[in-house]
Chain A
């Protein structure tokens, strides 16, 4: 074996600390979803849950859009935990795409209703701005929580992992927005939601990947060869 490899192995062995193997990605996803559920429970105390339930059951596409965003949240979080493991395929990042398509498609149906039914309430500019702020504002703590949970892993693709974090958080925030969104998504509203999700994903990709790279567990200090 090469001398430098020999030296490196000795240094790594000297640096060894006990570690606890990470729980499976599904279990870790469940922990994060429990956190989201806790936030949802807290927000539900301020929201008109009965009214929301009535709207959801009355209009099937709103129900479908909600289901799509919940499924996107869960699949994107699961994909983030999978991609954060060095031996897992990056193709896991494709997992949330079908559910995201359902989410966007069903929201688009709600948008079409505004053209068909003239009496449909269309969100005003102020309301769409509130939606944007709500999605971005709630995505930040959820993204931070997810990144903290991912810190113990060692992703070989931090930007992809961080993008999944952003998508999961944005989907969670968009789901929780239903508590305070007593109307269908108009074209403007839908565009604002899409912009908010894109902003969150882009910001998470840019900042989150840096956080994941900086906080990679187990930094090693290799003494120069011959120093011992």
Chain B
């Protein structure tokens, strides 16, 4: 604005038609450059845009208060980028801005009756975003004080519940069962293999082996008794 006054004053200079050549350069220095004029023009346009966007959002919110869902959805979508901008300016990390956006949207929804359409919507929303951003920063700070970010330590942390000897014992037991199973007669071994290890039904096992169901049951019973004896003896 002040710059605008300078421009108009220099244009109304009564001595301007009678400038001497030596003073031309100093006059040119006092005139705003094209870049300065561009900046001024851009600032004015931004100011107008801001006022326009505020008026538009205010009208949308007033419509939303009467129950206009289309206006409300348009308003919320329009506000999302503004919320992100304010939150980032407040120092919210970019990976948490979505959380702030959602908190603010929920607050706007719940507090929509508190908006006075005669006041600036952007100012109303801006304060809510600031408060929610501060809440988020406090939450991050509290979490940071309690937790340590150390993915390598997490990966290399030894699980105290794990018993290393248990694996060896399990392997030894499997080997012993395998050896005991190999020593069984063929019919008993087949019965264990089909009915216990492959978990086949009696009918399927009978069909595969070509023996009766009764024979399979007897062989399985004998095989299990023999295995139990061998394991108890510790062979």
Contact = CB atoms under 8 A, between A and B. Distances in A.
A146 B64 CA distance: 27
Given A12-B72, A13-B76, A5 B102 contact: yes
B69 A87 contact: no
A17 interface: yes
Contacts of B124: 86-87
Interface stretch (A20-28, A102-110, A180-188): A20-28
Interface in B204-223: none
Contacts of A9: 73, 76-77, 80, 105
A176 B67 CA distance: 43
B82 interface: no
B69 A13 contact: yes
Interface string A73-87: 000000000001111
Interface residues of A, number: 33
Nearest to A23: B116
Given A8-B102, A18-B65, A86 B107 contact: yes
Contact of B107 (A22, A88, A154, A219): A154
Contact of A4 (B69, B98, B117, B128): B98
Contacts, number: 94
B101 interface: yes
B111 interface: yes
Contacts of A127: none
B110 A220 contact: yes
Contact of B66 (A2, A18, A84, A218): A18
Interface in B102-121: 102, 105-107, 109-117
A221 to B, nearest CB: 12
A209 B211 CA distance: 80
A220 B103 CA distance: 12
Contacts of B66: 18
B76 A86 contact: no
B131 A16 contact: no
A70 to B, nearest CB: 28
A220 B214 CA distance: 67
Nearest to B108: A12
B123 interface: yes
Given A8-B105, A9-B77, A2 B116 contact: no
A218 B72 contact: no
B101 to A, nearest CB: 6
A19 B113 contact: yes
A216 interface: yes
B66 to A, nearest CB: 5
Interface of B: 64-67, 69, 72-73, 76-77, 80, 98, 101-102, 105-107, 109-117, 123-124, 127-128, 131
Interface of A: 1-2, 4-5, 8-10, 12-22, 24, 84-88, 152-154, 156, 216-220
Q: Which 10 A-B pairs have the closest CB atoms?
A: A154-B111, A18-B67, A13-B73, A19-B113, A87-B127, A9-B76, A218-B110, A87-B124, A12-B109, A86-B111
